Structure 1
Amino acid sequence: MRPHTLVARLDNAGDVLLAGPAVRAVAAGSRRVTMLCGPRGEEAARMLPGIDEIVVYDAPWVAFEPAPLDKDETLGLVERVAALGVDRALILTSFHQSPLPLALLLKMAGVPFIAANSVDYPGSLLNVRHRPPDDIHEVDRSLSLARAAGYELPPGDAGRLEVRRTSTLPQELPRRPYVAVHPGASVPARAWDPKRYAGLVRTLVQEGWRVVVTGGPSERTLTSRVAGPPNPAVVDLGGKTDLTALAEVLARAEVTVTGNTGPAHLSAAVGTPVVSLFAPTVPAVRWRPWRVPHLLLHREVPCAGCRARACPVEGHPCIGGVAEEEVVRAVERLAGSRAAERTR
C-alpha cells in the first residue's frame, strides 16, 4: 500500500509555492498527502495541487520575529500528527535552515520515516540525511530530497510551479493589457524604494500602459503611495485581494514587476513573465522566478549574499542603482515575448 506522507514547509507563502513540484512528486507516490505549514504559508498551501489535508503550526525557530515557544501548542502538534497515522515525512528547508527541531517533534509523534536536507549531524532523527549541492534552485533542492526519499514527478509533469485556479476577479480590474506592480516585500532589504515604484508607475502610464498595483492588507498605505493620485489608467488593489484572487490578477497581467518575494513565484505559477528587482542579499540561482520568462535587475555590489533584512548601506545600491527607464525597457521586452508566444 502506498504511504500517507507528510510534507513540511514552515515559512512564507513564496517558499510554499516553490515546494509545489516536490509536493506533486510525493502525491504521485502516496495514497494521501498532509502538508504541514506555518500560518504565513497556509493560504499558498491551500492552492497547491496534490494536498489532501493541511496542518498549521507556528514554529518558533522559523519566523524572523518568532513567538515564544508554547509548550501546549507544540505538544498539541505532536499529538495531532500522531493521530494522523503518518507513514513518512519530508521536511523541506532552505540551505540556512535546520530540519532537526521539527524532526524531533515528528519522531515524538511516531513517524517512522523522516527525510530532510541537513548539514548538521542528525543522530537518529533522520532516516534519510540528504545533502544536495549548495547552488541549486529551491525547487530543485526540494525535488532532490523527494527523489532521495523515493518520489518522482509523474510522467508529463515538467516540474513547473502550479496552483489551483479560481475565477474570482476584483471588479476594479482594468481591461487588458496591463502591468502588475507589487512594491511590497516581507524583507525590507528586498524592496525597491516606494518613490522609485511611484515614478515607475507614472512612466509606464506615460508609455501607454495600464497599471495595477497590488499588496496585502498591511500594505494599503504603500500601494496608495505607489499608485499616486487618482488616474483612470492606474488601479490600486492594495488589501483587496487574497492570494487566490491575486493569482488571477497576475495571470491576466502582461508582466509582473516586483522584488524577490512571494508574488514573483505566484506569477511564475500562473505563467506571467516577471521583471524582478532582485536584491542579491540571497543568491539568484536559488530564488529567481522558476521556469517563466524573467529579467533580474540589480547592480553588482561587494556585499552580495549578505542576507540582511534591512540594507545598512546608504542608497541601497544593489537595487537603488536601477533606473526606472531600465524597468520600463525590461517590461516592454518581456511583454513583447509574451505577445509573440500568444501568436504562436
Structure 2
Amino acid sequence: MPRDVPRPAIAEAVQSASPDPAPGGGAHARSPVLVIRHGAFGDLLQADGALRDLREHHRDRPIVLLASSPYTRLMARCPYVDEVIADPRAPMLQLGRNLALLRTLRERGFERVYDLQGSDRTALYRRLMPEPSQWLRKHNPADSGTPDRLAYAWMLAQAGIRVRHADAPDPAWMADDADALLAAAGIPPDYIVLIPGSAARHTHKRWPGHAELARRLGEIGRAVVVVPGPDELELARSLPCHVLATPDGFLDWFALAGVLRRAAFVVGNDTGPTHLAAALGTPGLALFGSHTSVERTGIRMRAFDAIQVPDLSSLSVETVLADVLRRLPR
C-alpha cells in the first residue's frame, strides 16, 4: 500500500466493487474465508469495519477469524464472523503448539485469506499452509502515518470489495445495556468517564493529572466515573470519583462498552478502553506522549480528538480541562 493513502483515493477505488455473487444453495454455501487479526484490543477495534465489509461481500461464505487467545470470547460475539479460532501465538520454538494450529488451518482448506495482521508470523503461516486461491495481506509500515483501518480499506478496495465501513468501525454490538449498573451506583446520565490507567508495562502512557482533573470536574458539578482494569484498581481508588466494578472483580468488555457508550464525555490515555470509546462514537479526548503518532493509531474519529505532547508529565490540567469544557455536549 502506498504510504499515507488519502481517503479520496479509496473512494475512487471502490466505485465499481460489488458483493461476492451468491450461487444457489443459500447463505454460507461456499468454502469458508479466513481473516487473521491477532490483537491487542485496539487493533481488533480498528478491524471492526473491515470485518463488516467482508461480511457484506462474502454473503454466502462462513467467515472464520484467527485471533489472539485472550480475545476469542470477545470476538465470538461479533456479528460479522461465524467462528473464532484461538491463536496462542506460541514462541516459534514451541513446535508442538504451532504445528497443532497449522494443522487446524490446513484442514479447513481456506480458499481466501485476508491477512489483516501482516506480520512475520502470518507470513510464515502462509508459507506453511496450502496455497489458497487468494491471500491478501495488509501492508502498512509501522513508521507510516496511516491508521490500520485506512490500510484495510485500501487493501479491500484493491481486491474489488466495496468499502463502506472499514474506515469507520462501530462496535456497538459489544455494548451491554448499562442502565441497571449505572442506576445501582447512583450515577446521573451526564457522567464523564476518566481512563487513567494502561497496561502495567506501559506506565509511560499514563497522564499524571487524572486525579486533579476529576477533582476540578467534581467542583463544577460533573459526575466522574472510572472503570478500572485488573491492574488499575489501586490507581482508580485514588481518584475522587465513582469506581465501577463488580463485587467479585472487574467489568468485562461488554459492560465496559455499555458504560462508555452512555457517557457524556471520555478522557483517557492511549489504551484499549479509550480507543473503544472513540469507536463507539462517544465524544472524548485522548492524551498522548511521544510513544507513538496519534495519526497512526487512528483514534481521531467522529467526536473523538486527541492532544499530543512530547512529555505527558508536562501536560497541564488546565489545558485538558479547557479542551473538555469547550467540547462537552450542552
TM-score normalised to the size of structure 2?
0.79
Contact 1:17–1:48 (8 Å) recurs in 2: no
Q: Within 5 Å, give how 1:54-93 maps onto structure 2.
A: 54-60=84-90, 69-93=93-117
Q: How far apart in 1 are the matches of 2:276 and 2:159?
A: 27
Equivalent-residue separation in structure 2 for 1:132 and 1:87 (angstroms): 29
Give the match for residue 148 of structure 1. Answer: 158
Over residues 284-334 of structure 1, what are the superposed CA-to-partner deviations in whole Å (9 max), with x where a residue is unaligned? Answer: 1111424222332232x3xxxxxxxxxxxxxxxx22111112222222222
Question: Structure 1 184/294 Cα, relative in aligned 2: closer, same or farther at 3 Å?
Answer: same
Runs of at least 4 residues of structure 1 off by over 3 A?
40-44, 46-49
Aligned match of 2:13: none
The aligned residue for residue 45 of structure 2 is 17
Q: How far apart are 1:148 and its partner, in Å?
A: 2.6
Unaligned runs of 5+ in 1: 61-66, 120-130, 229-233, 302-317, 340-344
Alignment of 1:327 with 2:320, yes or no, is yes
- Shift of the alpha carbon at 1:74? 0.8
Query: Hey, what's the Cα distance between the residues in 2 that align with 1:3 and 1:280?
Result: 45
Contact 2:48 2:166 in 1 (8 A): no
> Aligned partner of 1:53: which letter?
E
1:222 aligns with 235
Q: Which position in structure 2 is the counterpart of 1:205?
A: 218
Q: Which residue of 1 aligns with 2:205?
A: 190
Distance 2:257 2:243 in 1: 16
Query: Deviations along 1:138-188, whole A, 9 cap, x unmatched?
Result: 21012222223332235xx48422121332552326121110011112322
Where structure 2 has 5 or more consecutive residues not aligned to the other structure, the ranges are 1-22, 24-29
For residues 152 and 14 of structure 1, the distance between their equivalents in structure 2, rounded to whole angstroms, comes to 24
| Structure 2 match to 1:304 | none
Q: Counterpart of 1:175? A: 188
One-letter amino acid of the structure 1 residue matched with residue 212 of structure 2: G
Instruction: Name the SS for the 1:114 alignment partner.
Output: strand
Give how far 1:256 is off: 0.7
Measured after TM superposition, the shift of residue 219 of structure 1 is 1.8
Higher relative contact order (CA 8 A, sep 6+): 2
Does 1:236 pair with 2:236? no
Secondary structure of the 1:217 match is coil
Is the 1:25–1:153 contact (alpha carbons within 8 Å) kept by the matching residues of 2? yes
Change (3 A) 1:132 1:199: closer
Partner of 1:105: 125
Percent identity over the alignment?
A: 25
Deviation string, structure 1 residues 214-237 (Cα, Å, up to 9, x no partner): 121222122112x24xxxxx3102
1:107 CA drift (Å):
4.3
Aligned residues, how many?
Answer: 289
Partner of 1:124: none
Which deviations, in whole Å up to 9, do the C-alpha atoms of 1:234-263 show, x marking residues without a partner?
310255311111111001111111012211
1:315 is aligned to: none
CA deviation vs aligned residue, 1:109-157 (integer Å, no higher than 9, x gap): 32513221348xxxxxxxxxxx899321221012222223332235xx4
When the two chains are superposed, the root-mean-square deviation of aligned CA atoms in Å is: 2.5
Change (3 A) 1:133 1:146: farther
Question: d(CA) in 2 for partners of 1:290 and 1:54?
Answer: 29
Amino acid at match of 2:242: V
What are the superposed Cα offsets for residues 17-56 of structure 1, whole Å, 9 maximum, x if unpaired? 1111111121122222111111344354335331111111
Which of 150, 156, 160 is the equivalent residue of 2:168? 160
Alignment of 1:295-306 (within 5 A): 295-299=305-309, 301=310
CA positional deviation for 1:101? 2.3
> What's the secondary structure of 1:161's corresponding residue?
coil
CA contact (8 A) 1:213 1:237 kept: yes
The 1:7–1:42 alpha-carbon spacing in structure 2 relative to 1, beyond 3 Å, is: same
| Alpha-carbon distance change, 240 to 101 in structure 1, aligned in 2, over 3 angstroms | closer
Paired residues of 1:99 and 1:118 also in contact (CA < 8 A): no
Task: Give the whole-Å Cα distance in 1 for the aligned partners of 2:147 and 2:281.
Answer: 18
TM-score (norm 1): 0.76
1:176 corresponds to which letter in structure 2? P
Counterpart residue type for residue 105 of structure 1: Y
2:9 corresponds to which residue? none
Deviation of 1:276 (Å): 0.8
Following the alignment from structure 1 to structure 2, what is the Cα–Cα distance between the partners of residues 117 and 142? 7
